Amino acid sequence: MPDSNQPKREKLLIVEDDPGLQKQLKWAYDDFDVIVAGDRESAIEMLRAEEPDVVTLDLGLPPDPDGTTEGFATMDEILSLKPDTKVIVASGHGEKASALRAISGGAWDFYHKPVDIDELGLIVRRAFHVHRLEQENATLAARGNGDGYILGQIITGAPEMLKIARMIERVANTNASVMLLGASGTGKELLAKGLHEASDRRDQAFVAINCAAIPENLLESELFGHEKGAFTGAIKTTEGKIEQADGGTLFLDEVGDIPLPLQVKLLRFLQERVIERIGGRKAIAVDTRIVCATHQNLEKMIKENSFREDLYYRFAEIVIKIPPLSGRSGDASLLARHFQKKFAAEINPAVKGLAPDALAALEAWHWPGNVRELENRIKRAVIMADGKMIGANDLDLEVDENAATDLLNLKAAREAADRSAILRAISQTSGNISNAAKLLGISRPTLYDLLKQYKLQQAS
Ligand SMILES: Nc1ncnc2c1ncn2[C@@H]1O[C@H](COP(=O)(O)OP(=O)(O)OP(=O)(O)O)[C@@H](O)[C@H]1O
């Protein structure tokens, strides 16, 4: 007798252009609901229609079956439409470069062809397992029940960031240099710290330096140190940041601001792993791992000859792009609750939470200054709040008509429209749920159900 309680089978999308291999893989995964696509277009069509959680992707797809361009274009499109997808990339080319490109582009895992069904089966099953855990974690975090922490101190429930945490964990124990790209306030320094803590260098120093904040003429000495008497004012021998981070990690923020002569000196350090202090004669060996960040367009700077291409490739063995806060579903409320509790404890314990209209305004805002802006706004609101709850007025935000983004499918578009209408109604009625329900033409219980469904509940 068929078991009506049987759980829904998980969906696996196989993107592979070889019909023989398609059949073989389909047969091997008969415990999953397998769908197959032979090229980018049909893969994206199936992603939109079926929303698979795991995808195995052959990099050699038509019209470039012997290269990787079409495969990577498919991977990028999948991850931009549905960032929580676990993409497992297969390549017959077996080059390290493809593996690095895949992982830094957000792939979950990489394996070399020819396919070993058992080995791939393990990877696929683990990917489903981790996807399930991440979904549970995201739900808990959005409800405010889970702690929502990743990599130590980073708070998020968004699949976009969980993907990045996973990438960071994977590269932490390689010695590859990592470049974090993201707008100001997206948490690059916190992620660099997270990478250090996830690596086996965690017991040694984590040293951070912002190259844009230090005058050009002092930056060399800050990085490389100096010997006593090397220049006027050098009254004692001083270690630079690179040496201070020996055995550990150096976070170089705003590398785009490093002047060209110093870029040459840094290149030498990265190639030979030795430094010379200013005024020093001996080469000192250092084992410092570099994580760097910038919000500048280094590729453009290379074209304009203001950044060295060879240094870029030394810095950017792995490039990780950090999404802006507005691209992290549910994180604005989650982080707001965290900062409200933190600042209330430090500054104004009378403030107990965020009113629904405040949460609505937070979710609708586009956050040009990212997490730093959110932190500052909540801090200010905690200081200024009259009552127990922070209201939308305390945040000094206007409800923003969200710019349309590329949505996965009609269901996702409807949900986005529902969320936006609900948030606006709550904001217009200053958080009064009965009035908001009236404004929306639905009953109060229906509105509560929708708040729950879209994870828009009020903080307790
Ligand atoms: N996910 C997060 N969870 C908790 N706090 C965060 C998170 N992201 C950022 N922050 C906090 O926001 C502030 C800005 O973060 P951080 O300095 O890491 O950003 P950044 O990208 O390095 O900024 P910039 O490019 O301007 O230097 C810090 O106070 C940091 O602790």
187 CB within 6 A, ligand 1: yes
Q: Contact, 40 vs 57, CB < 8 A?
A: no
Name the residue of 186, 210, 342, 371 to mutate for ligand 1: max ligand atoms within 8 A of Cβ: 371
75-79, 153-157, 250-254: the lowest-pLDDT one: 153-157
Using CA positions, which residue lies closest to atom 30 of ligand 1?
187
- Kindly tell me if the per-residue pLDDT of 329 is higher than 80: no
Atom of ligand 1 nearest to the CA of 210: 27
Interface TM-score (ipTM) > 0.95: yes
Average pLDDT over residues 360-374: 89
- Kindly tell me if the per-residue pLDDT of 318 is higher than 70: yes
Q: Kindly list the structural domains of the chain, giving each domain's residue range(s) and its CATH number in brackets, ordered by start.
A: 11-139 (3.40.50.2300), 155-321 (3.40.50.300), 328-453 (1.10.8.60)
Write the pLDDT tens digit of every residue in 354-363.
887 788 788 8
pLDDT of residue 144: 45
pLDDT of residue 140: 60
Write 105-113 long-range contacts (CB < 8 A, 24+): 105/72, 105/75, 105/76, 105/79, 106/75, 106/79, 106/163, 106/167, 107/57, 107/75, 108/54, 108/166, 113/58
Atom of ligand 1 nearest to the CA of 338: 4
pLDDT of residue 459: 40
**What residues have CB less than 8 Å from 330, skipping those under 6 apart?**
138, 141, 142, 157, 158, 455
pLDDT of residue 3: 47
pLDDT of residue 334: 85
337 CB within 6 A, ligand 1: no
Using CA positions, which residue lies closest to atom 24 of ligand 1?
184
291 alpha carbon – ligand 1 mean position (Å)? 15
pLDDT of residue 147: 56
Atom of ligand 1 nearest to the CA of 180: 21
Average pLDDT over residues 400-427: 71
CA end-to-end span of the chain, whole Å? Answer: 46
189 CB within 6 A, ligand 1: yes
Rg over CA atoms, the chain? 25
155 CB within 6 A, ligand 1: yes
379 alpha carbon – ligand 1 mean position (Å)? 14
249 CB within 6 A, ligand 1: no
Distance CA 74, CA 86 (A): 13
CA atoms within 13 A on the CB side of 453: 11
